[in-house]
Amino acid sequence: MSAVLSLPLDPPVLEQPLPAAEQDPRFQPPGDFVSIRGVQLPRAELVDRALFSPVQRDRLRNALMAASPFPHLVLENLFNPALLDLVAEEFDAQPGNCWAEVKSRYESTRRSVLGPTLGPATQLYFDILHSGWFIDWLSSLTGVPYLLPDPKLFGGGLHESRTGATFAVHRDFNRHRHLGLKNEMVFITYLNKGWNPDWGSGLELWDKKHDRCVTTVQPEFGRTILLPHGPISYHGHTKPLQAPDDRPRRSVAAYYYSSPLAGKQHGDESASVFMKMHRMDRAKAVARMITPPVVWLLARKVTGRA
């Protein structure tokens, strides 16, 4: 007889905070770097670790919530500029079949296809974004626990706009088209050095109620925006791109999601099923199956196992 071993309710999941590079030798051993096309990138310097301290998390969280016309956060130089230089170089190396051209009455742009093959620097950038310590940081800023990344980068990846391109004011999609997960936020880093606002294509954040643009974020190199998804998070770039020498507007982006079941106790569904069990555990499993859930939970509380 197979049965489910009933375990105590899961304790809170404790995630290890990102340690300061100077305090943890794991982040600064000799030769601990990534080499890409002859450029050495120290692992301890891939991101500005000062922004991950408790004090900075509080500051950034407050700035995000206070932003207008809806919560968002603009960060400067979060990533090592040498890494972003390498990412920008890899746009031109992407083969044509790695791009999807998007043209409609509402937008004109090109994006990398679903599950793209990325250059080493670009892959490293997304590896950082998808790592546990980075996602924990995003959760601490936004208050959204159990964030889930999307390694296939649906809607994200490499973004490029060319001369004349626009993107009408919009909200992003509510759910991942293939996974059904709830869209919580998008994270965008710009790769355009010396950007001139006169060239257009700045990211406009709109107040839907008053039908006006409240602020514009210029897509300058090294600038990152965290944009939580919500009913009023309208944005776009309505001014056609007119950069000299047909210079494109480039960025890299990733979406983060949540599951409707995240953080909830799922009883037997979240416990292992053992083929052979101890007699006492089999008896407990049978008792669990025939006992109403409310009575079972009450019994656990009385015995101090809740």
- Per-residue pLDDT, 276: 76
**Across residues 172-177, what is the average pLDDT?**
96
d(CA 220, CA 290): 63
What is the percent of the chain where pLDDT is above 90? 75
In this structure, which amino acid lies at residue 60?
A: L
Q: Is the pLDDT of residue 7 over 50?
A: no
More confident residue, 142 or 31: 142
Contact 42, 32 (CB under 8 A): yes
When pLDDT is averaged across residues 129-139 and rounded to a whole number, the result is 97
Domain-wise residue ranges, the chain: 52-258
Least confident of 202-211, 216-225, 260-269: 260-269
What's the CATH class of domain 52-258? mainly beta
Residues 6+ positions from 184 with CB-CB distance below 8 Å: 142, 144, 147, 228, 229, 255, 256, 257, 258
* pLDDT attached to residue 79: 98
> Rounded mean pLDDT of 66-80?
98
Residue-wise pLDDT for 111-128, tens only, equals: 999 999 999 999 999 999
Tell me the pLDDT tens digit for each residue of 242-283. 999 999 999 999 999 999 888 776 666 667 777 777 778 777
Q: Does residue 171 carry a pLDDT above 60? A: yes
Q: Is the dihedral of CA 144, 147, 153, 155 positive or negative?
A: negative
Note the pLDDT of residue 300. 66
Average pLDDT, the chain: 87
Using CA atoms, how far residue 147 sits from 14, 188, 250, 256, 263, in Å, is 15, 16, 26, 6, 11
The per-residue DSSP string of the chain comes to --EE--PPPPPPPP-PPPPPGGG-GGGS-TT-EEEETTEEEEGGGSB-GGGGSHHHHHHHHHHHHH-SSS--EEEES-B-HHHHHHHHHHHTTS-GGGEEEEESSSBEEEEEPSS----HHHHHHHHHHTSHHHHHHHHHHH---S-B--TT-TT-EEEEE-TT--EEEE---SB-TTT-PEEEEEEEEE-BTT--GGG---EEEEETTTTEEEEEE--BTTEEEEEE--TT-EEEE-SPP--GGG--EEEEEEEEEE-TTTT---GGGGS-EESS--HHHHHHHHHHHHS-HHHHHHHHHHTT--
Give this prediction's pTM.
Answer: 0.82
Q: Write down the pLDDT at residue 198.
A: 97
pLDDT for res 282? 73
Is it the case that residue 80 has pLDDT exceeding 70? yes
